[in-house]
Amino acid sequence: MEWWQILILIIAGAIAIRFSLRFDLNRFLEHRRKIRLDQLKNICPHCKIELVDKEGKTKIKCTPYFHKPSGTFNYICSRCGCVVASEEDAGRISRSYAKDPRKWLEHENKFIKQMKKLKLA
């Protein structure tokens, strides 16, 4: 091989390496945002807690955000988009938070903090 042929091979190899090691910052940031949106489903409490005054007694009422769109069998949280298979699962989640409102408050604060980070709230 001649010296100019070796030089062309070296230049072509350098160009190939440059294109294979390219890093797209916008794609990385968009992928990270999608991951954080998926993580919101784990943080969301999927219900709201209200204090209800009934017959002189204050009780805790837990209202789930789950609804069943027409044409589907699944229940979807209107806040985060989490999907559960049955009404029993949705009720189980809201009952667990009704038993322990501090746990609900902790999850609600984390959820709001993450929503602010993602600029959704």
Residue 24: is its pLDDT beyond 90? no
Mean pLDDT of the chain, nearest integer: 86
Number of C-alpha atoms within 13 angstroms, CB side, residue 25? 0
Lowest-confidence range among 11-15, 39-43, 70-74, 109-113?
11-15
What strands lie across the sheet with 75-77, from one edge to the other? Answer: 66-67, 75-77, 83-84
Helix axes 101-117, 25-43, angle to 10 degrees: 160
**90 pLDDT exceeds 70?**
yes
How far apart CA 68 and CA 57 sit, in angstroms, is: 32
Mean pLDDT along residues 92-109:
90
Of 68 and 4, the structure prediction assigns the larger pLDDT to: 68
Domain ranges of the chain: 47-121
Please report the pLDDT score of residue 104 as a whole number.
92
pTM summary value: 0.70
* Cβ(111)–Cβ(40) below 8 Å: yes
Question: In this structure, which amino acid lies at residue 114?
Answer: Q
Contact 63, 98 (CB under 8 A): no
Please determine, for residue 20, whether its predicted confidence score (pLDDT) is greater than 70: no
